[in-house]
Amino acid sequence: RSKIDAHDYTYLVGRQNIRDWNFHLYLYPAKWITVNAQWHLFALDKSPDPLYNEASAPSRVRLNGSAGGVVGQEMDIILNFHITKHSDILTGYSRLNSGNFIGNTGNGRTPELWYQMYNVRW
């Protein structure tokens, strides 16, 4: 997984039975700065099936399909600062706005995450 592909942070959305419509915008405000904005719309491929987590285990289910099919929308903002030829500092923010499926199958919380990384390349 690349350092830019940070949208799996919540471990709520695995890749089984999911459609991920997404848009990415990259900006380069300076030679040493990269801004990556991502938007994802997660929807179940088949609404009677469960939502799987990253471990491929069903995490939420409503087998009669009455919970709806929209899992949620995720927004990611990632800033990467190229400090030297061999190091970067990356900081990001991710937020999952729960859709009708999440709200109808349990806690409809809106998870958020701020994170920072220091990367060294050899």
> Each residue of 94-122: pLDDT tens digit?
998 888 887 778 777 788 889 999 999 88
| Model pTM score | 0.75
Q: Would you call 50 helix, strand, or coil by DSSP?
A: coil
- To the nearest 10°, the Cα dihedral for 79, 80, 81, 82? -160
Share of the chain above pLDDT 90, in %: 42
Q: Over 80: is that where the pLDDT of 25 sits?
A: yes
Task: For the beta carbon of residue 88, count every other beta carbon within 10 angstroms.
Answer: 17
**What token pair was written down for 58?**
């069903």
Residue 1's pLDDT band (cuts 50, 70, 90): very low
Average pLDDT, integer, range 64-93: 90
